[in-house]
């Protein structure tokens, strides 16, 4: 009877909220979808977990510049979603984290040649220290002048949920001051180091007037996504195969709302995971998988019309863990939702 105590009661509470939401939402499906890819390094074989090979990069560019895809600036994508505009089918965004010198020397010439808009998330501390593995401010200014959007990525690339509130403020304020000095403006896009965040950090990112913020968990962005914890598909030597890129690029957002727990940093372990689907017809084909540093976590999925509840067989391990949920819609399109926890 533990099931009733820990599962049914939260679900009943959620149902009272769902009834209210459904009564005020006209659409039962998503309007926009966008797939954002994330790179770090290019052709740096010493770091295969954060680098793609040059052959992989060329294959990605060849595929994504085909007519069926629409690669658009990340700022434009997010502005369109936030303002209830219309994105074209198979909208793609490209982002780069950390400002590794291989982006300037290897990737940007190829992206530029193919008119591919890129957002570069810069960790200001690595630039200020004149780290020879990373770009300098002259190079970043040159990239900006050539059309690259610059985003914020903290000052020291710390595990932000492990910091105090004052340390988090210092990360953001120091970074903002450096951007203002070196570029004359503060970025409006933010990417969390390691994709790690918490409710407190998200609230702080909002207070500092960032438009949206990105994690590093797989998934497709749509209008019901958490705009301050947006998914991106990380590409590296292991997970940069072209079939994965195609699959992600042609997928759509799952369209979920009322996700719990709302804090990406775990307070209760194992967490009670739940969400509702805009399109109830996706429920039968929905499947979810949970992974932590120790591998896949056994789970039970409970389906109550549009409401989905997931219960884990054990606690999530230390570090990052991820939820991936997919379903196939009536048009045969794969729909994808992802979320990352930090413990």
Q: What is the pLDDT of residue 28?
A: 63
Residue 14 has a pLDDT of 35
Strand positions, DSSP E, 206-306: 212-214, 221-222, 233-234, 252-253, 256-260, 273-277, 287-292, 295-297, 299-304
What is the phi-psi region of residue 177: left when phi exceeds 0, alpha when psi lies from -120 to 50, beta otherwise? alpha
User: Which pLDDT does position 129 carry in this prediction?
Assistant: 72
Beta bridge partners of 252: 335
Identify the CATH class of 33-253. alpha beta
Strands 70-71 and 256-260: unpaired
pLDDT at residue 135 in the model: 96
Position 82 scores a pLDDT of 98
Q: Return the closest-CA partner of residue 39 out of 92, 104, 93, 96.
A: 96
CA dist 222 and 237 (Å) reads 27
What's the chain's average pLDDT? 92
Outline where the chain has alpha helix (H). 2-3, 9-24, 54-64, 74-82, 101-102, 108-113, 124-128, 137-145, 165-183, 199-207, 242-249
Local structure of 211: helix, strand or coil: coil
Residue pLDDT, tens place only, 199-234: 999 999 999 999 999 999 999 999 999 999 999 999
State the Cα–Cα distance between residues 274 and 276, nearest whole angstrom.
Answer: 7
Distance in Å from the first CA to the final CA of the chain: 29
Domain boundaries, the chain: 2-27+258-342, 33-253
* Digit-coded pLDDT (tens) for 46-98: 999 999 999 999 999 999 999 999 999 999 999 999 999 999 999 999 999 99
Query: pTM (2 decimals)?
Result: 0.91
Residue 4 has pLDDT above 70, yes or no: no
Give the pLDDT confidence score for residue 283 in this predicted structure: 97
What class, spelled out in words, does domain 2-27+258-342 have in CATH?
A: mainly beta
**Residue 35 in 3-state DSSP?**
strand
- Mean pLDDT calculated for residue range 124-132: 85
Tokens 């967490």 belong to residue: 271
The dihedral region occupied by 97, where left means phi > 0, alpha psi between -120 and 50, and beta the remainder, is beta
CA distance 164 to 307: 36
d(CA 325, CA 42): 29
Share of the chain above pLDDT 70, in %: 92
Look at residue 131 in the predicted model and tell me its pLDDT. Answer: 81
Q: What percent of the chain has pLDDT over 90?
A: 90
pLDDT tens-digit series, residues 13-55: 333 333 333 333 334 689 999 999 999 999 999 999 999 999 9
The secondary structure element, H or E, covering residue 325 is strand 320-328
> What does the pLDDT look like over 149-159, one tens digit per residue?
999 999 999 99
Would you say residue 105 has pLDDT above 60?
A: yes
Arithmetic mean of pLDDT, 238-258: 97
Q: What is the pLDDT of residue 120?
A: 98
């Amino acid at each position: 009877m533990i099931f009733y105590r820990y599962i049914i009661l939260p679900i009943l509470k959620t149902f009272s909220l769902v009834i209210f939401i459904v009564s005020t939402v006209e659409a039962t499906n998503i309007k926009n979808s966008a797939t954002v890819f994330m790179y770090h390094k290019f052709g740096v074989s010493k770091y295969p977990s954060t680098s793609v090979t040059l052959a992989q990069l060329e294959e990605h560019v060849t595929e994504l510049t085909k007519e069926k895809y629409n690669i658009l600036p990340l700022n434009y994508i997010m502005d369109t979603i936030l303002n209830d505009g219309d994105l074209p089918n198979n909208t793609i965004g490209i982002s780069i984290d950390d400002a590794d010198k291989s982006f300037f020397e290897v990737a940007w010439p190829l992206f530029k040649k193919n008119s591919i808009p890129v957002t570069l998330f810069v960790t200001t501390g690595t630039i200020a220290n004149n780290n020879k593995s990373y770009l300098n401010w002259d190079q970043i200014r040159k990239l900006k002048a050539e059309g690259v959007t610059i985003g914020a990525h903290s000052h020291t690339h710390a595990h932000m949920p492990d910091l105090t509130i004052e340390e988090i403020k210092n990360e953001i304020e120091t970074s903002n001051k450096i951007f203002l000095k070196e570029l004359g403006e503060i970025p409006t896009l933010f990417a969390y180091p390691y994709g790690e965040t918490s409710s407190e950090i998200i609230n702080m990112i909002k207070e500092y007037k960032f438009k949206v913020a990105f994690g590093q968990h797989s998934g497709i962005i749509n209008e019901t996504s958490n705009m301050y914890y947006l998914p991106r598909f990380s590409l590296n030597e292991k997970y940069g195969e072209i079939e994965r890129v195609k699959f992600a690029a042609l997928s759509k957002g799952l369209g979920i709302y009322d996700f719990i727990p709302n804090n990406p940093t775990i307070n209760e372990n194992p967490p009670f995971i739940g969400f509702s689907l805009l399109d109830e017809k996706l429920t039968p084909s929905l499947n979810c998988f949970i992974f932590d540093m120790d591998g896949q976590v056994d789970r039970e999925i409970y389906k109550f019309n549009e409401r989905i509840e997931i219960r884990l067989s054990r606690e999530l391990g230390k570090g990052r863990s991820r939820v991936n949920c997919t379903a196939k819609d009536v048009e045969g399109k794969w729909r994808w939702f992802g979320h990352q926890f930090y413990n």
